[in-house]
């Protein structure tokens, strides 16, 4: 979430991410959750990693089970951070983002579950932001072409009128938490994408 008040990123149930945490709490699964905030509309991979390293220094973190998610420009930041630090993450969950294709081969082997909306009225599912930063469909195609096996959920319709804002529903997807926890850094789960990953 862009800003510098250290509040906006946790409003509205952390933009839906608390749905995922609620599922972990209900299952009595201990997790550490960090929601950094960017003062600009772009993300610094080094700054994101600094937050992660600070958490690892303070709490007992399983470094083989660090998962990165982001929505909108945060999804773009998640891809950029993973490309800069491809050996740091067990899995990625980007939502309604855009990125360049050129660095994706470096992260093709990291398990990903990508979420998008076909009628996204902010970040086009094909053309993304325009120019070199394309949307989720070509990103997923590029990951698969590079040998990756990303899960992909594309909603036919996002919530009207803000069809970009799919994340509350996406974070509450049945099977997402179980899929995440099955991933280990460098040892992706051999399980296929859950049935819930099908586009709908």
CATH assignment of the domain containing 144: 3.40.50.1820
Residue 101 backbone class (left: φ over 0; alpha: ψ -120 to 50; beta: rest): alpha
Q: What is the mean pLDDT of the chain?
A: 89
- At a CB cut-off of 8 Å and minimum separation 6, what does 26 contact? none
Domain of residue 96 covers 13-33+64-197
Q: What secondary structure letter does DSSP report for 193?
A: P
Higher-pLDDT residue of 145 and 190 is: 145
Residue 5 lies in a domain: no
Residue 159 lies in a domain: yes
Say whether pLDDT at 14 is over 70.
no
Residue whose entry in the numeric block shows the structure tokens 């600009």: 40
69: number of CA atoms within 13 Å, CB side? 25
Helix (H, G, I), strand (E, B) or coil at 199: coil
- Give the whole-angstrom CA distance, residue 89 versus residue 14: 21
Domain total for the chain?
1
Residue 3 lies in a domain: no
Q: Name residue 94's beta-bridge partners.
A: 70
Residue 38 lies in a domain: no
Higher-pLDDT residue of 67 and 72 is: 67
pLDDT of residue 67: 97
pLDDT of residue 200: 66
- At a CB cut-off of 8 Å and minimum separation 6, what does 46 contact? 84
Residue 57 lies in a domain: no
Find the length of the chain. 200
Residue 56 lies in a domain: no
Residue 105 lies in a domain: yes
Residue 115 lies in a domain: yes
């Amino acid at each position: 979430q862009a800003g510098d008040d250290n509040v906006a990123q946790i409003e509205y149930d952390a933009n839906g991410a608390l749905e995922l945490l609620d599922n972990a709490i209900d299952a009595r699964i201990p997790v550490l959750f960090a929601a950094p905030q960017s003062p600009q509309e772009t993300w610094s991979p080094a700054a994101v990693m600094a937050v992660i390293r600070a958490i690892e220094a303070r709490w007992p973190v399983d470094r083989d089970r660090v998962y990165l998610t982001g929505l909108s420009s945060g999804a773009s930041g998640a891809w950029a951070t993973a490309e800069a630090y491809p050996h740091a993450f067990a899995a990625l969950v980007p939502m309604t983002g855009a990125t360049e294709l050129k660095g994706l081969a470096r992260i093709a082997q990291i398990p990903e579950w990508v979420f998008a909306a076909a009628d996204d009225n902010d970040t086009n599912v094909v053309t993304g932001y325009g120019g070199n930063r394309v949307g989720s469909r070509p990103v997923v195609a590029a990951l698969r072409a590079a040998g990756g096996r990303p899960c992909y959920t594309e909603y036919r319709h996002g919530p009207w009128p803000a069809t970009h804002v799919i994340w509350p529903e996406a974070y509450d997807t049945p099977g997402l938490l179980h899929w995440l926890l099955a991933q280990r850094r460098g040892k992706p789960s051999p399980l296929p994408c859950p049935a819930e990953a099908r586009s709908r």
